[in-house]
């Protein structure tokens, strides 16, 4: 779990930027039985993982929440993702309970291309859910599956953000890549889509979508870290365009399922200024706090 130095170093980072903490839009909390199975896939470096991936922040739900609080992460998410039909309801019920227990957590939910999806998504939106997550690599479905068309219309009209893992990293399959999301956005151009991992490794294609569509964002989850750069480094020529993407880059960590310290994820962003001077402290402040706050709203807990 957390090493004493980790908290002090992360707090030093955000205080050095005159921020009230960190706004992390991409963290995971799942029901214990599901979390155990997910971690087992990482431990085995299974076919959907593709490489050794030691998990840095294990522990009970309570320990992991305490870790984020000690780091000064003021707002975070649970981001369940349905991997088969019939599981979304269970995940959504658990995630709602988690957000009620942990006020800093965005009320998160998921959906899957199944006949009842339109109904339960409409109910969740009406009740005030704050973010959805879908993961096409794991769920093995196309984003533009006809069963989801009404779902996309509902969340687009409501403005509810959807964090979408659509890039082909870490291991691509027939369902990953930018084209299905492009087709969804062509049909629902005001969809609030947050592209996880900046669409790795199809960086340019997903950056194109963020530039073209008013409410398409990128999250920095695992990006620019030594671990990710070893497999899919971000192309230097795209950094200028990234700097121009005003207000549309959000910090995400993938906590707890990361193989390095939380501080390293922040350092990886800070050292970008050596490659593109405009990715400076003002940019960092926006990425690590104000962009997330503008999209999801103010945090409910600002205590150390």
Contact 189, 216 (CB under 8 A): no
What is the rounded average pLDDT of the residues 88-102? 98
> Quick one: pLDDT band at residue 47, thresholds 50, 70, 90?
confident
pLDDT tens digits, one per residue of 112-130: 999 999 999 999 999 999 9
pLDDT band at 4 (very low <50, low <70, confident <90, very high): low
- Residues 73-79, mean pLDDT to the nearest whole number: 98
Domain boundaries, the chain: 4-294
**Mind listing the pLDDT tens digit for each residue in 151-170?**
999 999 999 999 999 999 99
CA dist 92 → 6, 145, 175, 248 (Å): 31, 21, 23, 27
- In whole angstroms, what is the distance from residue 154 CA to residue 38 CA? 29
- Pairing type for strands 162-165 and 193-195 reads parallel
Q: Is the predicted pLDDT of residue 229 greater than 70, yes or no?
A: yes
Give the mean model confidence (pLDDT) for residues 66-90.
Answer: 97
pTM for the model: 0.96
Burial per residue of 227-238, b for 16 or more beta-carbon CB atoms within 10 angstroms, e otherwise: bbeeebebeeee
Q: What is the mean pLDDT of residues 92-112?
A: 98
For residue 48, name the pLDDT band (cuts at 50, 70, 90). Answer: confident
pLDDT tens figures, 265-285: 999 999 999 999 999 999 999
Give the pLDDT score at 230.
94
In the sheet that holds 162-165, the strands lie side by side as 108-110, 131-135, 162-165, 193-195, 216-219, 249-250
The CATH superfamily label for domain 4-294 reads Metal-dependent hydrolases (3.20.20.140)
- Dihedral of alpha carbons 289, 290, 292, 293, sign: positive
DSSP assignment letter at 76: B
Residue 303, pLDDT score: 46
Residue 3 confidence (pLDDT): 62
Nearest to 190, CA basis, from 164, 160, 220: 160
- What integer best gives the mean pLDDT of the chain? 95
Residue 302 has pLDDT above 50, yes or no: no
Q: Are 217 and 241 in contact (CB under 8 A)?
A: no
Q: Is the pLDDT reported for residue 192 higher than 70?
A: yes
Q: How confident is the model at residue 92 (pLDDT cuts 50, 70, 90)?
A: very high
């Amino acid at each position: 779990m957390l090493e004493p130095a980790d908290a002090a170093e992360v707090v030093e980072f955000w205080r050095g930027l005159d921020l009230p903490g960190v706004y992390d839009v991409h963290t995971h909390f799942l029901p214990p039985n599901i979390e155990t199975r997910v971690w087992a896939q990482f431990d085995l470096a299974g076919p959907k993982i593709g490489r050794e991936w030691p998990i840095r922040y294990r522990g009970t739900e309570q320990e992991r929440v305490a870790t984020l609080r000690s780091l000064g992460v003021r707002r975070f998410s649970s981001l369940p993702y349905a991997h088969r039909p019939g599981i979304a309801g269970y995940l959504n019920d658990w995630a709602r309970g988690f957000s009620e227990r942990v006020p800093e957590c965005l009320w998160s939910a998921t959906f899957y291309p199944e006949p009842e999806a339109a109904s339960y998504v409409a109910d969740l939106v009406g009740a005030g859910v704050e973010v959805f997550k879908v993961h096409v690599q794991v769920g093995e479905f196309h984003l533009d599956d006809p069963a989801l068309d009404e779902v996309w219309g509902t969340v687009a009209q409501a403005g509810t953000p959807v964090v979408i893992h659509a890039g082909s990293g870490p291991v691509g399959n027939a369902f990953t890549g930018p084209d299905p999301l492009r087709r969804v956005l062509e049909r629902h151009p005001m969809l609030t889509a947050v592209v996880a991992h900046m669409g790795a490794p199809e960086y340019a294609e997903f950056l194109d979508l963020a530039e073209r569509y008013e409410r398409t964002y990128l999250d920095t989850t695992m990006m620019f870290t030594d671990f990710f750069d070893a497999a899919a480094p971000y192309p230097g020529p795209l950094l200028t365009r990234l700097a121009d993407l005003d207000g549309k880059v959000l910090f995400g960590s993938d906590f707890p399922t990361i193989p390095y310290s939380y501080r390293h994820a922040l350092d990886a962003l800070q050292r970008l200024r050596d490659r593109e001077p405009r990715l400076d402290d003002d940019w960092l402040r926006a990425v690590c706090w104000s962009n997330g706050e503008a999209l999801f709203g103010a945090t409910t807990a600002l205590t150390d």
